[in-house]
Amino acid sequence: MNLRFALRLVGRDWRSGELRLLLAAALVAVGTVTAISLFVDRLQQALLAEATTFLGADSVISSSRPIPDAFRAAAAERGLAQTDIVSFPSMLFADASDDARNQLVSVKAVGPGYPLRGAVRIADEPFGQDRVAETVPAIGEVWLDSRLFPALGLDLGDTVSVGYAELGVARVLTAEPDRGRSFLDLGPRLLMRVEDIPETKLIQPGSRVSYRLLLAGDSGALASLKASIDADLRPNYRWRTVKESSPTIGGALDRAESFLLLGGLLAVLLGGAAVALAAHRYARRHYSHVGVMKTLGATPADILWGYVCVLLIIGVVGVLAGLVLGILVHLGIIALLSAYLPVRLPWPGPNPFVVGSVTGFVCLAAFALPPLLNLRRISPMRVIRREPDRGLSNVITYGFAGVGSIGLLVWYSQSIWLTAWALVGATVVCGAFAVVALALLRGGRIVGMQAGSSWRLALAGLQRRRRENVAQITIFGLAIMILLILLLVRTALLAEWRSQIPENAPNHFLINVADDEVGAVQNLLREHTDYDGSLFPMIRGRVTTVNGEPARGWREREGERGEDLGPGLGSERNLTWSDDLPGDNVLVQGDWWPADTAESLISVETDYARGNGLRVGDLLEFDIGGLPVSARVANLRRVEWDSLQPNFFIVFSRSALAGFATTHMTSFHLEPDRKRFLNQLLAAHPTITVFEVDAIIAQVERIIDRVTRAIELILGLVLGAGALVLIASIQASHETRMKEHALVRALGGTRNLIAGALAAEFAVLGAFAGIVAVLGAEITVFALQTRVFELDYDIHPWLWIAGPAVGMALIASVGYLGTRKLVRSPPLLVLREL
């Protein structure tokens, strides 16, 4: 059999409609996956781009030492955009006079082109309406934070002194994308040009300066740059990307990715199921065909080659058409959601097309190849004598499907966990379905004996085709289960995301509150806001030794490796003391100390302790303001970082820090229309620093909102794939049903009887599938939520009513539509065509 013959075979089968379902299944599988991949790819790029504005760049190299020119040259060589930031604290004087008002500010000197991602926002009056700045300050100019104006009595156009430099106040600075999230970087901001730094003469040996090189461009070029300078980065330079710099955004992105991939994964499984059903039906319809060809001299190898060619042709056509369908669907989605999506989505990379194509071919090979391979074993004797066909071995069918699905899922999700749990869900469901479906069918038949004729016919039909119906209940159930899972997981994720940033989450931080200001500040806050918190003492220091061993060596030997394990032992940290366990912290190990303890004790955050190999009982020595302080680890505690409350890796007992002067900090919620309160606060306490995080929260909310939209879309696409499985599954039993019902009609059954029996049969099938789908969904969602998404889980009573009802309505209507022809055609015609 040659390729031309295979092409003819395809042409003829296409004409007779036999390949349409298989091609439709392949098309939808590829189309759905491609559309999801394209959309996810572009959306992820957009989300990442939006998230990179938190860094002001795609990647940042930071250090307390100047950035070597070699790094800049290497970045330029790769065509990357780059700009410098130098930041340091300094005193700002309102004028050059000796008694000028002054304020400690956080100076940020930037190069032209800053920021590479996101935008700086400026205003023409303090706390006024802001807008995007098109440029950076001109040389000789500064832009100042709103609160510096009342604190120093400044107006736009005034001159201020920074070190030896005198600079003009040109704009009010309201926001920069990479406004520090480290407390080192806090303080009212002063934005100036790096070119003006030499004139200030502020940078001396030993000055506390942070140098950053912002980088933006192609991810390949960035990776290549990182690889080439990796050895030179350590130990003094740090390479950061958005996920590391902003754990909240990183977490949201990770969860969005997980969810979107789960959607894609389920679409692949549904597409595979539809392909398998269509291929089994196609193969069954070709048994006689193959028998005849074998009597005419076709060898098993011919048959094999012929049908592999058929599959290849279907694959090529299905994949190409599927890619086009995917592009169209994703364009449709984007058009539909243009109002909610970023203004310009980046162009997709080649990846979605590769994903779509590979998915198509692997799907066909895993789900459609086994029944077609089996065709070569069809005995030519079947043409002269009806013999039972040697069915396809289950090992081969499920083996192929299993290897194919698992391979695809792991490759697609890049997560063995996610795949494993999706499969555990599917396996549990299939096992439960088989058992429950059998019991339900048996019970249904017994009840059916007492029922009216339509129901009796329907339930007898269900019981007679027990094997097929168990399989169909499994597939219907799987489709319903997947929809339920999506619905439940989506609801849970949204609720969790929303609760992550509670309605009245603190959106302003106050630091640098002196000891004698604590009471007054607390009163002001209580008077003008809903504040009911307390102020935390704060002092900076670092760990020098653990149990007498230098900190670095200890961490290397004892610390766990891994992400999210907090900063290193030796770096300078904000420290605090407290008599009580901070509000939303949870004690994990050890005991909290009595308020009046005279011992020098510390409480350590769990991840920080794991990352640095610290255990209860360890003795740590700190360097605080040049003085050594020893303290023993009394307990470990878990911290809810997402709460936006002030939190610390290390908390001391009060007596341990008794001799040190500390400043205080706190956080509070302030509505946007009450921002002017900050003026009042700062006028009364000019040395206090306010850190506004409401802008960051707004950005996080915007990202979460867009992710939500994406999830709703994916849900729609997966629903479409689910509907196709229903249709394929009804088609699979079409011939048997037609024959039976034609016989009943030939024997005098009315059209109404058949219609009623069909509706009843599909309704019962749907209800049975619904019951087991709910069971499977509850189990799978429990696993997904507790293991993958790390959320809490509650059972859903409404589901146990809604699931079977939805199953009944859905399958009865789709099934009835699919079998209308059966009811309408005259029985003789139906019998002759079989």
Partner 1 sequence: MNNHSAAAPILRVDNVCKTVATAEGQLSILDSVSLEINAGESVAVVGASGSGKTTLLGILAGLDLPTAGDVWLDGDRITAMPEEDRARVRGRCVGFVFQTFQLIESLTALENVMLPSELRGESDAGDDARMYLDRVGLADRLTHYPRQLSGGEQQRVAIARAFASRPKVLFADEPTGNLDTSTGGRVIDLLFALNRESQTTLVLVTHDTALADRCVRVLSLEAGRIEA
Contacting residues toward partner 1, per CB under 8 A: 1-2, 5, 8, 12-13, 15-16, 18, 288-289, 291-302, 379-381, 383-385, 832-833
Q: How far is CA 766 from CA 428, 480, 820, in A?
A: 19, 9, 18
601-605 and 627-638 as β-strands: parallel, antiparallel, unpaired? parallel
Looking at the Cβ atoms of 163 and 827, the one nearer to partner 1 is 827
CA distance 47 to 41: 10
Q: 188 CB contacts (<8 Å, ≥6 apart)?
A: 103, 105, 106, 144, 145, 147, 148, 151, 689, 690
Q: Give the nearer residue to partner 1 in terms of CB position, either 266 or 293.
A: 293
Q: How far is the CB of 372 from partner 1 (least distance, A)?
A: 16
Q: Which residues are 105's β-sheet partners?
A: 90
> Strand 141-145 to strand 165-175: parallel, antiparallel, or no bridges (unpaired)?
parallel
Tokens at residue 24, please?
A: 């439709």
Least distance to partner 1, CB of residue 379, Å: 7
Shortest Cβ 287–partner 1 spacing (Å): 12
CB of 302 to partner 1, least distance (A): 7
Beta carbon of residue 387, minimum distance to partner 1 (angstroms, whole number): 10
Residue nearer to partner 1 on the CB measure, 5 or 183: 5
Residues 6+ apart with CB under 8 A from 277: 25, 475, 725, 728, 729, 731, 732
- The rounded distance, in Å, linking the Cα atoms of 404 and 422 is 15
Taking the least distance from each CB to partner 1, the nearer of 292 and 746 is: 292
Give whichever of 377 and 557 is closer to partner 1, judged by the CB atom. Answer: 377
Select from 341, 264, 345, 326 the least CA-distant residue to 714: 264
Nearer to partner 1, 304 or 487 (CB): 304
CA distance 328 to 44: 19
Q: Which is nearer to partner 1, 296 or 795 (CB)?
A: 296
Decide: 457 and 744 in contact? Cβ < 8 Å.
yes
Partners of 274 in the β-ladder: none
To partner 1, the closest distance from the beta carbon of 822 in angstroms equals 17
Closest C-alpha among 200, 38, 177, 190 to residue 116:
177
Q: One-letter amino acid identity for 448?
A: G
Cα 248 to Cα 225: distance, rounded to the nearest angstrom:
27
Compute the residue count for the chain. 834
Type of residue at 154: L
Q: 591 exposed, middle or buried (CB, 10 Å; 0-12, 13-18, 19+)?
A: exposed
**Toward partner 1, which CB reaches closer, 299 or 504?**
299
Q: Which residues pair with 543 in a beta bridge?
A: 622
CA distance 733 to 462: 11
Q: How far is the CB of 288 from partner 1 (least distance, A)?
A: 7
> Which lies closer to partner 1 via its Cβ, residue 1 or residue 165?
1
Q: Which is nearer to partner 1, 385 or 561 (CB)?
A: 385
For the bound state, the minimum distance from the C-beta of residue 808 to partner 1, rounded and expressed in Å, comes to 36
Provide, rounded to whole angstroms, the least separation between the CB of residue 294 and partner 1. 6
Beta strands in 325-470 (DSSP E): none
Beta bridge partners of 652: 577, 602
**Which residues have C-beta within 8 Å of that of residue 596, sequence separation ≥ 6?**
none
**Closest distance to partner 1 from the beta carbon of 299 (Å):** 4
Please report how close the Cβ of residue 399 comes to partner 1 at its closest, in angstroms: 24
* Cβ proximity to partner 1, 249 vs 283, nearer residue: 283
